[in-house]
Amino acid sequence: MAGFKGLAVPGPTNMPFQIRQAMDVALEDHRAPDFPEFTLPLFQDLKRIFKTTKGQVFIFPGSGTGGWESAIANTLSPGDRVLASVFGQFSYLWADLCERFGLEVDAVDVEWGKGVPLDVYEQRLAADKDHKIKAVLVCQNETATGVTSDIAGVRRILDDLGHPALLMVDGVSSIASIDFRMDEWGVDVAVSGSQKGFMLPTGLAIVGVSQKALETKKTAKLPQCFFDYGDMIKTNKDGYFPYTPAVTLLRGLRASIDMLEAEGLENVFARHNRLAEGVRKAVEAWGLKLCAQGPEWYSDTVSAIMVPEGFDANDVIKTAYYRYQLSLGAGLSKVAGKVFRIGHLGYLNELMVFSALGGVEMALRDAGIKFEAGSGVGAAVAHYSETAQALPLDKVA
């Protein structure tokens, strides 16, 4: 078919031309004597994206799952207890990974559509007088349900109770897209991936680690090899890696950081919020509901949209893909067939959102879901028009 395919999934996201161009280079020697001239500034600049001056950021070949594994393997020992909450597919998978590593997982089951239950976390941590809980796991943005949780709130609980547990955050679909403050929130391990807010192909696990977490490595007894922080520290200090790095992706990461900082992180966060609100206005105009059960949970990077009772979300997804060349995110696990997902993160503007919303409207109509045609797009148009910042006259062509 003619034209571009639309990519409106919550990862991989759309890749800017600047990043594609940065990676369109001849393969290079990762042991070259001048290689550190590229990597050392990259390591330092990446810390600004995580908003840390005290921590260290590691870049592994892998995905977010590899980042999870690194967090667990380098800081904990068999039989250690971790506190987690399960409110979507990815928070579930992280807890499952911990169980496979032989950890004792205190998993709080939460209704899908809500996020980390601060009250339950406070109760569990307050009851842990002997400090057997060694790590607290928080999924900042649950990609499966479009739910964002309060990381600062979890840190306040730990501080108020004087609990020494490590605070570990899954920021795969949040870091570089929505507000994240590693140092201010006292995050000990923050896991991200290249294919979301960093606007790159899948292939890099980007992990921020506090000095406190690095200290725990001295007593951690879980097996470590590929994801060993110690090996990375020894080689990264000189600008190298303990094994062959994904250099082409690193070149793209350099361009990504430059783009994020040129826009300004606070502007990036504001753009994501504004674009996400337009999608939420569209969902409301269609007469549909989000999986997220209240504004306090709304995600600025992905909206999981419920189809009415008696309809299958997969019909919407397949129609959008095969008839209109638009990729939407599918419902996972408990919400399979109940939701379709629109990713609104990374390299994105109003026109790209309109493309996704228009494709969704056509797919909804074809699937037999009743709504007023154009209502969602119109609601987004009204929101974006009302919130647009006026350009100076000399910038208007």
Is 293 within 8 Å of 300 (Cβ atoms)? no
- Written as six digits, the tokens of 228 are 């060993």
- pLDDT value of position 107: 97
- Written as six digits, the tokens of 295 are 């504004």
Q: Which residues contact 48 (CB under 8 A, 6 or more apart)?
A: 257, 261, 265
- Written as six digits, the tokens of 317 are 């997804």
E strands present in the chain: 6-8, 56-62, 81-86, 104-109, 133-139, 141-142, 147-148, 166-170, 189-193, 203-209, 289-290, 302-306, 326-330, 339-343
> How far, in Å, CA of 90 to CA of 69, rounded?
13
CB atoms within 10 A of CB 1: 8
- Written as six digits, the tokens of 95 are 């807890």
- pLDDT value of position 80: 98
Q: Which residues contact 319 (CB under 8 A, 6 or more apart)?
A: 362, 363, 366, 367
- pLDDT value of position 390: 58
Set out the domains of the chain in order of their start, with CATH numbers.
Answer: 6-12+264-389 (3.90.1150.10), 18-262 (3.40.640.10)
CA 314 to chain centre: 23
CA 306 to chain centre: 21
pLDDT digits (tens, 9 = 90+) for 12-58: 999 999 999 999 999 999 999 999 999 999 999 999 999 999 999 99
- pLDDT value of position 2: 84
Half-sphere exposure at residue 227, Cβ-oriented, CA atoms within 13 angstroms: 24
14 to 144, 245, 299, 353, 359: CA distances (angstroms): 19, 23, 18, 12, 16
Q: Which residues contact 330 (CB under 8 A, 6 or more apart)?
A: 313, 314, 317, 336, 340, 341
Q: Which residues contact 162 (CB under 8 A, 6 or more apart)?
A: none
> How far, in Å, CA of 76 to CA of 70, rounded?
10
- pLDDT value of position 396: 42
- pLDDT value of position 397: 39
Low-confidence ranges of the chain (pLDDT < 70): 390-397
- pLDDT value of position 83: 98
Is 316 within 8 Å of 304 (Cβ atoms)? no
- pLDDT value of position 391: 53
- pLDDT value of position 389: 73
